[in-house]
Copies of this chain bind each other. A is one copy, B any other.
Amino acid sequence: EDLKKQEPTESSDPYSSDPERHPVLRINSQKPFNAEPPPEILTDSFITPSAVFFKRNHLPVPQVDPASYQLQVEGLPGGGVTFSLEDLKTRFPKHDVTATVQCAGNRRSEMDRVKQVKGLSWGISAISNAKWSGAKLRDVLLAAGYGPDVAQWARHVHFEGLDKDVTGAAYGASIPLNKAVSEEGDVLLAYEMNGEKIPPDHGFPVRVVVPGVVGARSVKWVGKIVVSAEESTSHWQQNDYKGFSPGTDWDTVDYKSAPAIQELPVQSAITSPADGALIDSSDGSVTVKGYAWSGGGREVVRVDVSLDGGQTWQVAQLRSSDEGQVPKAPPTPGRAWAWKLWELTAPLPPQVQELEIICKAVDSSYNVQPETFPPIWNLRGVLNNAWHRVTVKITEG
């Protein structure tokens, strides 16, 4: 494949063994590597190819030998239990879960335009959809000693990555216990992505996939799992990835006052046409494409598209599979982990020189997206789910 060679780096650089990446990716940060695909690639396929799936690393990519890989599980009666990769593959049923992963900061660049926020300047593509395969976290916890007695006191399940900063501190996060152990929660310890071993950037050899939940909790290169009465004390759980009121600034923020982001709100964006694109009026019509997704397993039930800045709305066609593939049966309520791709072809309004195209999605709880960014502005620039707008110019063929 057509992969870009990284520039030579000093051997003391902890990022020197980071993998090669696809040249089409738009890089927001090189070290740690954070990059997203061009928007139009996202809607080319229901399943995002792994090479162009957005990359969101907090630390250098660890080099993990699959033969010696060990997953430690702690906090359960009887003490710690360790599983090899082979254990995960052979001792537990293999489950496939098609799940969309979205970064908390997806679309941050739009919020930043309202008033500056702190964080990587993501466009609309810090979201992708893959088929993940692996053991269910529930099954592994049960094998390690989880049971009704533990449910009495435990409330959270922590994940620790094998990626470490210069002080040796690992990336970490936690999720609520009931999500972790629920049969319908579908949390995976995944060892495959899109039918192949997980690429280094996505957590080789084993990562957590927490469907319906912000990407930050789907810990990659997972090395340790701890069942606990308390939330993870990780920086990323306690002092990051939380939402605040627009009136809260860096002088007044109290990170304890807000819950850690878990399930994400309903989201959608237009992947084509691009903002500023030229549309040939002789076509007579315009085709608008995009994605829509909601957290918590809530299915997207409708996407409304406006060609006139929100005055009137048309309903887009939704799809849940790639063309030529038979769509699966609709998911059980609360287990719709994958996005919908959507499309609308509509006549060009007569005699206009410019269109403001907007999309907004509705999920199965009938939650909707807010109209604009200022009322959801927050200092960290997360949870950016206001209507997505692009302006296009109509040109005479």
Closest to A315 in B: B245
A278 beta carbon closer than 8 Å to chain B:
no
For A266, what are the chain B residues with a Cβ–Cβ distance below 8 Å?
A: 367
Name A's B-contacting residues (CB within 8 A). 176, 178-179, 184, 243, 245-248, 258-259, 261-266, 295-296, 298, 301-302, 304, 310, 312-315, 332-334, 360, 362, 364-372, 375-376, 383
Q: What residues on B are CB-neighbors of A313 within 8 Å?
A: 245-247, 375
**Top 9 A-B residue pairs of the complex, sorted by shortest distance between their CB atoms:** A263-B365, A265-B367, A176-B333, A367-B367, A247-B313, A371-B371, A366-B383, A265-B366, A245-B304
A249 to chain B, nearest CB (A): 12
A258 touches B302 (CB 8 A): yes
In the assembled complex, which residues on chain B have CB atoms less than 8 Å from the CB atom of A334? 178
Please measure, in the bound complex, the distance between the C-alpha atom of A264 and the C-alpha atom of B298, giving whole angstroms: 12
Q: Please, which residue of chain B has its CB at the minimum distance from the CB of A382?
A: B366
In the complex, A304 Cα to B368 Cα: how many Å?
Answer: 18
Is A375 touching B368 in the complex (CB atoms < 8 A)? yes
- Cβ contact of A247, chosen from B184, B312, B333, cutoff 8 A: B312
Contacts of A184 in B (CB 8 A): 178
Pairwise interchain contact B383-A304, C-beta atoms closer than 8 A: no
Least CB distance from A230 to B in Å reads 13
Contact check: which of B262, B263, B365, B370 meets A370 at CB < 8 Å?
A: B370
Are A366 and B261 touching (Cβ within 8 A)?
Answer: yes
A367 to B178, CA, bound (A): 20
16 A-B pairs whose Cβ atoms sit less than 8 Å apart in the complex = A243-B302, A243-B366, A245-B315, A246-B304, A246-B312, A247-B312, A261-B366, A262-B333, A263-B366, A264-B365, A265-B366, A266-B367, A295-B365, A296-B296, A371-B371, A371-B372
Q: Are B365 and A296 in contact (CB under 8 A)?
A: yes
The reply to whether B370 and A371 form a contact with Cβ atoms under 8 Å apart is: yes
By a CB distance below 8 angstroms, the chain B residues around A179 are 333
Pairwise interchain contact B314-A247, C-beta atoms closer than 8 A: yes
Given contacts A178-B334, A247-B313, A262-B333, contact A368 B370 (CB under 8 A): yes
Give chain B nearest CB distance to A142 CB in angstroms.
Answer: 16
Contact of B333 with A301 in the complex, beta carbons under 8 Å:
no
Which chain B positions have C-beta within 8 A of A302? 243, 245, 258
